[in-house]
Amino acid sequence: MVHDLTAIADAVSRRNVVRTAGAALGVAAASGAAASGTAASGATTGDRSRVGNGRGSGGPYVSAHRGYRDVFPQNTVAAVSGAARLGADRIEVDLEATSDGEIVVFHDARLDDLTDESGLVAETPSEEVLQAEVLGSGETIPTLAEVLSATRPPVTMNLEFKDRGPLSWEEFAKRALDAAYRYPGPFYASSFDHDAIRAVREVDPDVDVAPIFGSDTEENLAVARELDAEALNCSTGVLDRELVEIAHEEGRAVNVWTIDSWREAATPIELGVDGLIADYPEMAAFGTDGGVGPHRGR
């Protein structure tokens, strides 16, 4: 594959979002910022540095999948605040719309398996959805606004657009971003649905986006190029050295999901990925700078 080296250099220079120790990665935007492009401080949305291209000082960033779903009740306020306390660099949450258009944080299309309620989220009013208890934990399904109030910078929020419900993707994006602008730190939007991230680009071109995929690598690379996506969020099943090299040459970060053990983390780390999306903390600790590391000869 032949790359336009000038375009690649421009893309890398334009993003220039490698995190440095203690650096502030974002500024908050006020309500209506999508329309005006201006934050409360007078900065534009383009001043926010969100997804990151490059690794943390000790290896890949670690993103708490659903707020470390195997440590806390997933996609809840407790999960997000708990993941932040455990030092997650990033936190991934799933977004869906209720029947009346409220953006809530939940993974499944149906309430049945994860809560004490039943039915499709998209066909249930927010008043009922927000009362549903998650996995007998005492925690209920939160709104996006509630989840974003549970953590603070420098945590980056990965907002996965899961199910638009009765809304168009454009309207879903407007409502989700209106809540996200109030978060005083960095965030980005990701989705398996290419139309979802297209809608984000339409609503606010300055918000970073990432296609999520576990197959059809070439198709997703094409979408990333079409939208000038800042990152690729791929499964361990499709991750290989060529994908990482192509993404990095084109100025995109590579985040891999879902990492459940240090053994699963080893290959992505060796390949040079930028982020690990994990169900447990400290997945990258073994064998990385500052981690336990293997004991070699004495």
Phi, psi of 32, deg, nearest 5: 85, 5
For residue 15, give the 3-state DSSP assignment.
helix
One-letter identity of residue 9: A
Bridging pattern class, strands 275-278 and 209-213 = unpaired
Phi, psi of 290, deg, nearest 5: 85, -5
Distance CA 59, CA 277 (A): 13
pLDDT at 297 over 90: no
276, β-bridge pairs:
62, 256
pLDDT digits (tens, 9 = 90+) for 237-275: 999 999 999 999 999 999 999 999 989 999 999 999 999
The model carries a pTM of 0.81
Domains in the chain, start-ordered, CATH in brackets? Answer: 60-278 (3.20.20.190)
pLDDT digits (tens, 9 = 90+) for 35-76: 333 333 233 343 333 565 445 556 899 999 999 999 999 999
Q: What pLDDT is recorded for position 285? A: 73
Q: Are 70 and 282 in contact (CB under 8 A)?
A: no
Q: What H or E segment, with its residue span, contains residue 210?
A: strand 209-213
Give the orientation angle of helix 194-203 with respect to helix 217-227, to 10 degrees: 10
pLDDT digits (tens, 9 = 90+) for 16-32: 332 222 222 222 223 33
Q: What is the pLDDT of the chain when averaged over all its residues?
A: 83
Reference 152, options 48, 80, 94; nearest CA is: 80
pLDDT digits (tens, 9 = 90+) for 122-160: 999 999 999 999 999 999 999 999 999 999 999 999 999
Q: What pLDDT is recorded for position 10? A: 36
Distance CA 94, CA 64 (A): 12
94, β-bridge pairs:
160
Supply 192's token pair: 């398996």
Phi, psi of 275, deg, nearest 5: -150, 145
Supply 118's token pair: 């039943």
For residue 225, give the 3-state DSSP assignment.
helix
For residue 90, give the 3-state DSSP assignment.
strand
Distance CA 21, CA 284 (A): 18
Q: Exposed, middle or buried by CB within 10 Å (0-12, 13-18, 19+), for 296?
A: exposed
Q: Taking the alpha carbons of 74, 76, 78, 80 in that order, is the dihedral positive or negative?
A: positive
